[in-house]
Amino acid sequence: MIETGTKAMKKEIKFSLVYRDMWQSSGKYQPRVDQLRRIAPVIVDMKCFDRIETNGGAFEQVNLMFGENPNRAVREWTAPFNRAGIQTHMLERALNGLRMYGVPADVRRLMPKVKKAQGVDIMRSFCGLNDIRNLRPSVQYAKEAGMISQAALSITSSPLHTVEYYTQLVDQLVECGADEICLKDMAGVGRPTTLGRLVKEIKTRHPQTVVQYHGHSGPGLSMASVLMVAEAGADVIDCAIEPLSWGMVHPDVIAVQTMLRDAGFLVKDINMEAYMEARTLTQEFIDDFLGLYINPSNRISSSLLIGCGLPGGMMGSMMTDLKGVHNAINAALKSHGKPQVSFDALTVQLFNEVEYIWPMLGYPPLVTPFSQYTKNIALMNLLSMAQDKPRFSQIDKDSWNMVLGKAGRLVGPLAPEIVEKARLEGREFYTGDPQDAYPDALPQYIKEMEDNGWERGEDDEELFELAMHDRQYRDYRSGVAKQRFEKEVAQLRNPVAKPKPENDAPSANYLSKQHPDAIPIVATATGRLLWELRFDDLSTPPAPGMQIRVHDVLAHIEASYAIEEVSATVGGRLIDTVIAQGKMVTKGDVLGWIELDGSSVTPNDPVA
């Protein structure tokens, strides 16, 4: 029911519950399908939401990781909202689809067909670099599948990310068919007045286009931003509910509704009895197992985020990263006769370093995965400087892809020292369409399913999951994922009984029989393997098929004394990896295999 009151009402503002992002911004996992089934009718009964964010992002991936079929989860989760006439929406990362690296075009095209059949109405698509070349196919594929295409602007605040910059991008998105525009203020650092001006410009140029605002509450600007975009003509506001609202997540719907009603907007009443039941259920899910993966720091807002622009949703993983290298940095400082630093001081140093290098990296909006890449470079800079090495001494392969333009165009120029480093290392800048680097791949996945006797699933949904998350899907099908998850939960609930980490590497003799003609990738130290410079196991090894050059940094190993690089000794094609992110390895262990291409072996390089 909409309350009209006695004073003249402005336009109606609708609310969307970002239930998926509430969890993803808080911790690692999403609720199980049985939990989602329980809370869905309660959310419907709240009667204040016209939209629900049900899936996308890492939703499908983490379902696989705890041994649950994500297709069943999406179908059963969306069904109650479909019946109630509440629109459902998902989040996808354009070129990266539902993962952290590029997706073949045929897999991207299949995704909205599958999700529409599963009951998802709106596909929210964002490119972390706001590259129209990455966004245009998402718009096209969503509309082909009969979904509403909502193109998202990755909002940040820099001298180059102006109202004029974003409105020109909106013009292009509307021209290529986007039905709606979302302001994805993923770090909550969008300035309220500027966001209001942006919405007013969009509504002036495209008055029929629905505008939805998504703002995280971490830095403390979100409520002011909500009011300013509403006054400027926004149609839908993303909200959260307790106990996962505020902190690094989103404003609570109660506060947003109260503020907007006081400002004269038409907003729906909230069934508070249902709200409290949903609140209780969400807390029950936290108490069940999800709270084991929620970092308490995510409950705290920090205006320090305004300067560095990092999204609150990655604070938990960033704190883990910092803890992982804190000892290594202090060991390096001590060995060079420098004073050691406390963890709090190191945190401030990292924020300052991100703020310092961000313009040097071309101002990439700090959203997944570019927030991780920028943070990784800043983190390795702190370690390098502690070792008396210059900044940018260590840049991981994924961050290089961003720098070189393989993920899309950076809005600003790179610092001369980074350009020179690329030249000295023989790295070439990429100017083509990023999608061209990821050729169609569905035929090979179809063959794999046929060879294994696996059904492609209703509306090809099982084929899609294999193609989007191949490693996690195989582990799900084999039962390994469920066993691993249950063991992990048991250890977190009873840390005293947690066994001493063992070497997870298969024997070299066994591996040599698997790939007798390939060159092994060998661990350079004893410690924890990091395919990506993040310290959780949500990261995955590089995808088989990628081209490797001599001296490419393939991984890092967190040793007791420092972070060691694992570089390619030969050039060729990656054909396999055998150790998961975060597992313990011993110096000399085989981590994966490279098939020689005959063109890039350096004669003087040792072949392990």
Sorted by sequence, the CB contacts under 8 Å of residue 457 that are 6+ apart come out as: 71, 463, 464, 465
Residue 413 is assigned to a structural domain of this protein: yes
Angle at alpha carbon of residue 281, lines to 12 and 477, rounded to 5°: 105
**One domain, residues 97 and 205:** yes
**One domain, residues 350 and 257:** no
Band of residue 319 on the pLDDT scale cut at 50, 70, 90:
confident
CA dihedral angle for residue 577, residue 580, residue 582, residue 588, rounded to 10 degrees: -40
**One domain, residues 163 and 193:** yes
d(CA 545, CA 524): 23
Read off the pLDDT of residues 249-271 as tens digits, 9 standing for 90 and up.
Answer: 999 999 999 999 999 999 999 99
| pLDDT score recorded for residue 605 | 32
Read off the pLDDT of residues 408-464 as tens digits, 9 standing for 90 and up.
Answer: 999 999 999 999 999 999 999 999 999 999 999 999 999 999 999 999 999 999 999
The percentage of residues in the chain with a pLDDT greater than 90, rounded to a whole number, is 63
Q: Which of 391, 408, 435 is the last residue of a domain?
A: 435
Q: Specify whether the CB–CB gap between 185 and 155 falls below 8 A.
A: yes
Read off the pLDDT of residues 226-245 as tens digits, 9 standing for 90 and up.
Answer: 999 999 999 999 999 999 99
Q: Which residue shows structure tokens 């369409």?
A: 433
| pLDDT score recorded for residue 601 | 38
| pLDDT score recorded for residue 531 | 83
Residue 398: closest CA among 108, 61, 92, 102: 102
Q: Does 602 have pLDDT greater than 60?
A: no
Sorted by sequence, the CB contacts under 8 Å of residue 302 that are 6+ apart come out as: 218, 219
Q: Specify whether the CB–CB gap between 574 and 546 falls below 8 A.
A: yes
| pLDDT score recorded for residue 606 | 28
**One domain, residues 244 and 131:** yes
| pLDDT score recorded for residue 507 | 46
Q: Does 538 have pLDDT greater than 90?
A: no
| pLDDT score recorded for residue 511 | 46
How many structural domains does the chain have? 3
Output 431-438 pairs: Cβ under 8 A, ≥24 positions apart.
431/405, 433/133, 434/95, 434/102, 434/131, 434/133, 434/134, 434/406, 434/407, 434/408, 435/95, 435/102, 435/105, 435/133, 435/134, 435/137, 437/102, 437/406, 438/95, 438/102, 438/103, 438/104, 438/105
Count of residues in the chain? 608
**One domain, residues 209 and 255:** yes
Bond from prior residue into 369 cis (ω within 30 degrees of 0): yes
Q: Does 503 have pLDDT greater than 80?
A: no
| pLDDT score recorded for residue 427 | 92
Paired strand residues for 387: none
Q: Which two tokens stand for residue 37?
A: 């089934």
**One domain, residues 259 and 332:** no
**One domain, residues 328 and 419:** yes
Q: Specify whether the CB–CB gap between 469 and 64 falls below 8 A.
A: yes
The pLDDT of 389-416, averaged and rounded, is 92
Domain span at residue 527 reads 508-596
Band of residue 92 on the pLDDT scale cut at 50, 70, 90:
very high
Q: Which of 298, 325, 351 is the last residue of a domain?
A: 298
| pLDDT score recorded for residue 502 | 47
The percentage of residues in the chain with a pLDDT greater than 70, rounded to a whole number, is 90
The distance in angstroms from the start CA to the end CA of the chain is 70
**One domain, residues 293 and 322:** no
Q: HEC profile for 540-578?
A: CCCCCCCEECCCCEEEEEECCCCEEEEECCCCEEEEEEC
Three-state secondary structure call for residue 81: helix
Read off the pLDDT of residues 146-169 as tens digits, 9 standing for 90 and up.
Answer: 999 999 999 999 999 999 999 999
**One domain, residues 280 and 327:** no
**One domain, residues 143 and 90:** yes
Band of residue 8 on the pLDDT scale cut at 50, 70, 90:
low
| pLDDT score recorded for residue 499 | 45
Residue 9 is assigned to a structural domain of this protein: no
d(CA 554, CA 109): 30
The pLDDT of 513-526, averaged and rounded, is 77
Q: Does 7 have pLDDT greater than 60?
A: no
| pLDDT score recorded for residue 592 | 87
**One domain, residues 226 and 262:** yes
Residue 448 is assigned to a structural domain of this protein: no
Backbone region of residue 520 per phi and psi (left: phi > 0; alpha: psi in -120 to 50; beta: other values)? beta
Q: Does 584 have pLDDT greater than 50?
A: yes
**The domain that contains 581 carries what CATH number?**
2.40.50.100
Band of residue 177 on the pLDDT scale cut at 50, 70, 90:
very high
Read off the pLDDT of residues 467-498 as tens digits, 9 standing for 90 and up.
Answer: 999 988 999 999 989 998 998 899 889 876 54
Q: Which two tokens stand for residue 343?
A: 């963890």
Q: Which of 276, 298, 320 is the last residue of a domain?
A: 298
Sorted by sequence, the CB contacts under 8 Å of residue 430 that are 6+ apart come out as: 404, 405, 406, 437
The pLDDT of 37-46, averaged and rounded, is 98
**One domain, residues 116 and 212:** yes
Read off the pLDDT of residues 330-384 as tens digits, 9 standing for 90 and up.
Answer: 888 888 899 999 998 998 999 999 999 999 999 999 888 888 889 889 988 998 8
Q: Which two tokens stand for residue 93?
A: 């990362």
Residue 455 is assigned to a structural domain of this protein: no
The pLDDT of 102-131, averaged and rounded, is 97
**The domain that contains 252 carries what CATH number?**
3.20.20.70
